[in-house]
């Protein structure tokens, strides 16, 4: 659960934690209560409304997180804990060192923990009552991310706090007056804009009642992962269209962000026989560092990976790892380590994801360091998130929609199921201008169906179509 604590503990290395299964014979007549009492009692806390400890956005109002103290086993007496916002500069420095970041520490005067952080668990229980931690944006700088270490101390001698749980790290991203595109249903809409089209078109669709943007996230598709056979280096190549958008971010990116949308850059193999699924550890580190530099330089909100067109078998390259999920997972982990306050999303396509992501990396499940993933067969339905270890439905898009000759329109029954069953993502691919090559009907009807089924609103187009002007 505690992604930032675990990432910090992992420091700079990539450690693979393969799971093992061992069968143990247990006497059916064993008194389990006696066994439980011999197990060490440990305590920690969980965050009910942010269980994976993602970076928390704060706009102009305070944000409250609901916490709950936990015990590994029940105890026959009161278990008491003290949770405090830490002021230690060395903890902030340790976090920044582990992630190669420069986040300032969140001032403790901006933090209020209910009951002054003194929380008790009743005898026989394993969970405390829910308690609040509220963070105020007063005096904090818009556009900065702050790190907050929270210490957990046990006041009960029989209850220990493990080294991993002694300090947990929260990240708070100050949005200031930048609005939020989040909708009441909690479903995130992602829009892909192909290279050669104007991304501003994604911002011209809004919900009629709330006025929020239809799309929460815009992916710029795509930068290429390339291999230089002469130097032996893997690098990122920006085509002229992507470069024009990035180098004019105030014209093409900032207007979307000012409406509350996130703008991310997709990375795609360039057909050289090298891609996410066969990188060496050295390539992973250097590529992740280059990706971080791009995201920071152009003020983007995250990274998206698509593994199509690698041509591993048609164009094999010596010196790389066997094609499989492990290098891909490592790359996702490393990018998230370097960009812990940014989004990391993965299109479920490509040979490296044929069997999903089954491995732990540095003690974390892939669902801990991947924010969202989604099915890439348009108009179809899949629950393949179950093959990504640790991922839940809120992180998954089971029914993607694509415009153009390779796409497919949304299915009404699937949209209803997506919402009813608690899935969290809807993808729209290849949006161009207002009425591009939708295979059946106009964008207005197709996007209107998505808006109605997922958000209970109709959709409105501004009437502005943005052509390519670079």
Neighbours of 89 (CB within 10 A): 9
Beta bridge partners of 372: 345
> Is-contact 16 284, C-beta < 8 A?
no
- Cα–Cα distance between 173 and 150 in angstroms, integer? 17
- Cα–Cα distance between 105 and 165 in angstroms, integer? 19
Q: CA 271 → CA 173, 268, 288, 391, 414, distances in Å?
A: 37, 9, 19, 29, 34
- Cα–Cα distance between 421 and 409 in angstroms, integer? 20
- Tokens found for residue 141: 């700088």
Locus of tokens 């995201």? 295
| Known active-site residue 308 | yes
- Tokens found for residue 46: 């969980």
pLDDT at 447: 94
Is the peptide bond preceding residue 65 cis, with omega within 30 degrees of 0? no
- Tokens found for residue 386: 């179950």
DSSP state string for 256-307: HHHTT-EEEEEEEE-SSS--TTS--HHHHHHHHHHHHHHHHHTT--EEEE--
- Cα–Cα distance between 428 and 410 in angstroms, integer? 9
- Cα–Cα distance between 460 and 457 in angstroms, integer? 10
Question: Would you say the C-alpha torsion 305, 311, 317, 322 has a positive or negative sign?
Answer: positive
Q: How much is the pTM? A: 0.90
Phi-psi region of 224 (alpha: psi -120 to 50; beta: other; left: phi over 0): beta
Q: Which of 80, 290, 308, 321 is catalytic?
A: 308
DSSP state string for 351-385: GGGTT-B--EETTB-HHHH--EEEE-STT----GG
Question: Would you say the C-alpha torsion 399, 401, 407, 411 has a positive or negative sign?
Answer: positive
> Is-contact 84 117, C-beta < 8 A?
yes
Helices first, then strands: H and E counts in the chain: 12, 24
- Tokens found for residue 42: 């440990």
Beta bridge partners of 427: 190
- Cα–Cα distance between 458 and 436 in angstroms, integer? 20
Apex 303 CA angle, 302 and 305, nearest 5: 155
| Of residues 341, 342, 371, 369, the one with CA closest to residue 103 | 341
Locus of tokens 């056979």? 229
Q: Interhelix angle for 89-99 vs 325-338, to 10°?
A: 140
- Cα–Cα distance between 206 and 8 in angstroms, integer? 39
> Is-contact 288 338, C-beta < 8 A?
yes
pLDDT at 88: 86
- Cα–Cα distance between 12 and 337 in angstroms, integer? 9
> Is-contact 371 391, C-beta < 8 A?
no
Measured between its terminal Cα atoms, the distance across the chain in Å is 45
Query: What's the longest Cα–Cα distance across the chain?
Result: 77
- Cα–Cα distance between 67 and 282 in angstroms, integer? 39
| Of residues 440, 348, 453, the one with CA closest to residue 403 | 440
Domains of the chain in start order, with CATH, are 3-8+40-174 (2.60.40.1740), 188-461 (3.20.20.80)
Q: What count of Cα atoms within 13 Å lies in the side-chain half-sphere of residue 469?
A: 9
Neighbours of 452 (CB within 10 A): 15
| Of residues 321, 346, 441, 328, the one with CA closest to residue 396 | 346
The pLDDT tens digits along the chain (470 residues) read 345 555 555 543 433 333 333 333 333 444 444 344 446 799 999 999 998 889 999 999 999 999 999 999 999 999 999 999 998 899 999 999 999 999 999 999 999 999 999 999 999 999 999 999 999 999 999 999 999 999 999 999 999 998 889 999 999 999 998 999 999 999 999 999 999 999 999 999 999 999 999 999 999 999 999 999 999 999 999 999 999 999 999 999 999 999 999 999 999 999 999 999 999 999 999 999 999 999 999 999 999 999 998 999 888 899 999 999 999 999 999 999 999 999 999 999 988 787 899 999 999 999 999 999 999 899 999 999 999 999 999 999 999 999 887 788 899 999 999 999 999 999 999 998 866 555 445 788 899 999 999 999 999 999 899 999 99
Whole-angstrom Cα Rg for the chain: 23
pLDDT at 435: 63
pLDDT at 6: 55
- Cα–Cα distance between 469 and 436 in angstroms, integer? 17
């Amino acid at each position: 659960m505690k992604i930032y604590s675990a990432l910090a503990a992992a420091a700079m290395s990539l450690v693979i934690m393969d799971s093992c299964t061992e069968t143990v014979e247990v006497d059916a007549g064993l008194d389990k209560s006696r066994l439980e009492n011999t197990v060490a009692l440990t305590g920690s806390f969980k965050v009910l409304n942010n269980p994976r400890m993602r970076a928390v956005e704060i706009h102009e109002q305070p944000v409250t997180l609901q916490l709950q103290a936990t015990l590994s086993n029940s105890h026959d007496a009161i278990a008491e804990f003290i949770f405090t916002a830490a002021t230690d500069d060395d903890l902030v420095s340790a976090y920044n060192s582990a992630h190669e970041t420069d986040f300032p520490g969140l001032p403790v005067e901006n933090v209020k923990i209910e009951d002054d952080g003194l929380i008790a668990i009743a005898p026989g229980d394993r969970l405390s009552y829910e308690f609040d931690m509220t963070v105020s944006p007063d005096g904090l700088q818009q556009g900065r991310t702050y790190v907050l270490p929270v210490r957990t101390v046990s006041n009960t001698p029989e209850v220990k706090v493990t080294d991993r749980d002694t300090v947990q790290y929260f990240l708070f991203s100050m949005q200031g007056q930048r609005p939020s595109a989040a909708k009441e249903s909690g479903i995130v809409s992602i829009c892909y804009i192909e290279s050669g089209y104007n991304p501003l078109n994604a911002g011209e669709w809004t919900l009629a009642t709330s006025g929020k943007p239809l799309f929460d996230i815009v992916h710029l598709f795509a930068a290429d992962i390339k291999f230089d056979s002469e130097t032996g280096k893997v690098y990122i190549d920006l085509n002229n269209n992507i470069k024009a958008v990035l180098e004019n971010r105030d014209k093409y990116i900032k207007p979307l962000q000012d409406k509350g949308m996130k703008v991310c850059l997709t990375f795609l193999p360039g057909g050289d026989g090298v891609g996410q699924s066969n990188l060496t550890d050295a390539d992973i580190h250097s590529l992740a560092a280059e990706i971080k530099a791009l995201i920071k330089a152009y003020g983007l909100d995250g990274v998206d990976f698509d593994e199509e067109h690698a041509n591993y078998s048609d164009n094999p390259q010596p010196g790389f790892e066997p094609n499989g999920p492990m290098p891909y997972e490592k790359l996702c982990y490393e990018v998230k380590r370097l960009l812990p306050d940014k989004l990391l999303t993965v299109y479920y396509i490509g040979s490296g994801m044929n069997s999903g992501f089954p491995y732990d990396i540095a003690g974390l499940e892939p669902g801990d360091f991947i924010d969202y993933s989604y099915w890439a067969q348009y108009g179809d339905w899949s629950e393949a998130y179950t093959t990504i270890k640790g991922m839940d439905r809120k992180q998954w898009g089971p029914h993607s929609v694509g415009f153009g000759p390779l796409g497919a329109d949304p299915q009404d029954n699937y949209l209803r199921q997506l919402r009813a069953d608690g899935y969290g993502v809807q993808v729209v691919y290849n949006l161009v201008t207002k009425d591009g090559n939708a295979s059946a009907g106009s964008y207005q009807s197709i996007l209107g169906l998505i808006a109605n089924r997922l958000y209970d609103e109709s959709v409105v187009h501004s009437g502005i179509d943005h052509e390519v002007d670079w």
